[in-house]
Structure 1
Amino acid sequence: MRTCVLSDVGELSVIERDRPDPGPGEVLVRIDRVGICGSDLHYYQNGENSGNVVQFPHVLGHESAGTVVEVGRDVTALSESDRVAIEPGISCGECSYCEGDEYHLCKRMEYMSSPPVDGALTEYVAWPAELVYPLPEGVSLREGALAEPLSVAMHACERGEITEGDTVLVTGGGPIGQLVSEVAMAQGAEVVLTDVVPEKLELAERRGVAHTVDVTSDDPVSVIHDRIDPDGVDIVMESSGADSAIELTTEAVKRGGTVVFVGIPMDAALPTDVVGLIGEEYDLKGSFRFCGTYPEAIEGIRTGRFDVDSIVSFEQSLTETQAAFDRAMEPENVKGVVRVSNGSQER
């Protein structure tokens, strides 16, 4: 099978590898579409991400969907030819986090594309059947691959406890910021989104965001005070990882509000001191991946509640993966997708 490997920092190439066989409880999936995540770009540019260091060669990609081509022993819920989305994290199933329905916090998690576990930029992947979800009619394989970033956004909004009538600032108009905004709006919130790239702000407006702010020319806090509430917003969803956006969060949130950090910074400190935290009594929360969201994400795509397809800026073939990664780093692009094979995209 063809596999795209990261052979060194900034070097991606397609090689031949042996096709895997599904073990008991696994299915073999012919991969069709893989989304390019910000973490993939960190590995590509730096050889590491959040302390995880690549041992070359390594296979990237964890936002994936495809078609089941072989079913392992003891698998009854899936069949050959099923179109599926793959949840990329394998937890241990035994620790207190797994037993307490917080499997995303499992310290022994094996996460697709996170070293040393290879990712989905390959023609075939053998994966536990319990983490493979059939796609209904009306959901394309590309949309199925984007159930992963949608799940990240859904979990982040759950951490923020966003409800109808809340005012929400989303910092960053990348894939997660766009999807966080959509999930927040679906829950009845009024959203303000900030970025430095006009194309990303325009996309957010087309996707229904009521207020966008170009931080190169306008002060987001002043805009919030003028348009939304002189006291600030109820919730800030920091989705960029940018130092300037992180610093902005506690200025923009009202007293007693909530700040959720979902964007991954290279290196940043919390934007507050203990005295300020006590006096303002806001909550600072982290949001890490997701837990149990895939069925709801897929159903939300099917019903049209969530539009993941419109965040895609471009799509390129497996042999063009290096060009796709370079293109994904261009500021105006939101989401790149790699077409690994030419499976059916019927909707």
Structure 2
Amino acid sequence: MTDNLSCILYGKNDIRLEQRPIPKAGPNQLLIRVKTVGICGSDVHYCLHGAIGNFIVKEPMVLGHESAGIVEAVGENVRGFSVGDRVAMEPGIPCRGCQHCKTGNYNLCPDMRFFATPPVDGSLARYVTHDADFCFKLPENVSLEEGALCEPLSVAIHACRRAHLQIGQNVLVTGAGPIGLLCLLTAKAMGVSSVVVTDLDDGRLALAKKAGADHIVNVRGKSQDDLRREVTSAFGGLMPDAAMECTGAQPCVETAITVILYFSRYDILYSPLLFS
């Protein structure tokens, strides 16, 4: 094994394909031959701006964090995995020792090491090592492409759980990108009655409709009052029980706030750092 072609970001609009040494699996780690990697909005943001908020690319960094692959080698003390296993990788490795980690909220760990978040390299390479307890075997009926989508799907599932979605509710999803579509699919799987999806792009809205949206609304050129009326009309004159903001755009945040019921759940799925 000598080929570890990696996609490396050097700075704004400066991406290079370079060979890097193939890492070795340490104790409690797996060496994974990466097969599929999704391109997230954060990867694009780092490429275009060289930073997201306080996370600044100061040295070359491998991109990518939505990934799946095949186990190539098993490190010392690892149990439950074998060479050839197909796995999805959870991209963040917490410290495991802080209060957040010990109370089950390890996603809030202040010392989280996350793929493709400076200064940590990502997974858009031929080979990566990763802690075995953050790798998950894929069932035979799940492809590696679908395995790479486990990470963004987990975002949607977490958001829908935080919103306490229930059978019979009405849900507004602002943004028909990948995260918005996954929120739509997850909300439907949880039994909500109706989902309205908004976006600026008719093509994306058509895909949302095909994916199961009950109503779609193109927001281009419309005032907040117009959108409020159109969304509530789509829900039969009712306000949504929950809203999920999946764009990171300030007008969409305002739209969702103006249409939801008092005491409704409102999830913002894109980091406020992207506004900066």
Do they superpose with TM above 0.5? yes
Structure 2 unaligned runs (5+)?
Answer: none
Question: What amino acid does structure 1 have at the position aligned with 2:22?
Answer: R
Aligned partner of residue 31 in structure 1, secondary structure: strand
Q: Distance in 1 between matches of 2:217 and 2:127?
A: 43
Q: Distance in 2 between matches of 1:68 and 1:183?
A: 29
| Contact map agreement 1:92 1:106 (CA 8 A) in 2 | yes
> CA 1:217–1:267 in structure 2 vs 1: closer, same or farther (change >3 Å)?
closer
> Residue 237 of structure 1: which of 241, 244, 250 is its match?
244
Q: Is 1:79 the equivalent of 2:86? A: no
> Residue 34 of structure 1: which of 28, 34, 37 is its match?
37
Question: What amino acid does structure 1 have at the position aligned with 2:66?
Answer: E
Question: What amino acid does structure 1 have at the position aligned with 2:195?
Answer: V
Aligned partner of residue 152 in structure 2, secondary structure: helix
1:1-347 alignment runs, 5 A limit: 1-189=4-192, 190-216=194-220, 219-265=226-272, 266-267=274-275
| Contact map agreement 1:91 1:98 (CA 8 A) in 2 | yes
Q: Distance in 1 between matches of 2:49 and 2:255?
A: 27
Deviations 1:130-179 (A, max 9, x none): 11111111111010001000001100111111111111100001111010
Q: Distance in 2 between matches of 1:19 and 1:179?
A: 34
Shift of 1:56: 2.5
Q: Distance in 1 between matches of 2:70 and 2:180?
A: 29
Q: Bigger relative contact order, structure 1 or 2, given CA contacts below 8 A and separation 6+?
A: 1
Deviations 1:6-38 (A, max 9, x none): 122111111111100000100100001100011
> TM-score, structure 1 length as denominator?
0.75
Q: Distance in 1 between matches of 2:142 and 2:163?
A: 28
Runs ≥4 in structure 1, deviation > 6 angstroms?
none
RMSD: 1.3
Shift of 1:97: 0.5
| Contact map agreement 2:249 2:275 (CA 8 A) in 1 | no
Q: Work out the percentage of aligned pairs sharing the same amino acid.
A: 41
Aligned partner of residue 222 in structure 1, secondary structure: helix
Aligned length: 268
| Contact map agreement 1:231 1:255 (CA 8 A) in 2 | no
Shift of 1:229: 4.6
Structure 1 unaligned runs (5+)?
Answer: 269-347
| Contact map agreement 1:59 1:113 (CA 8 A) in 2 | yes
Aligned partner of residue 233 in structure 1, secondary structure: coil
Q: Distance in 2 between matches of 1:84 and 1:208?
A: 29
| Contact map agreement 2:59 2:119 (CA 8 A) in 1 | no
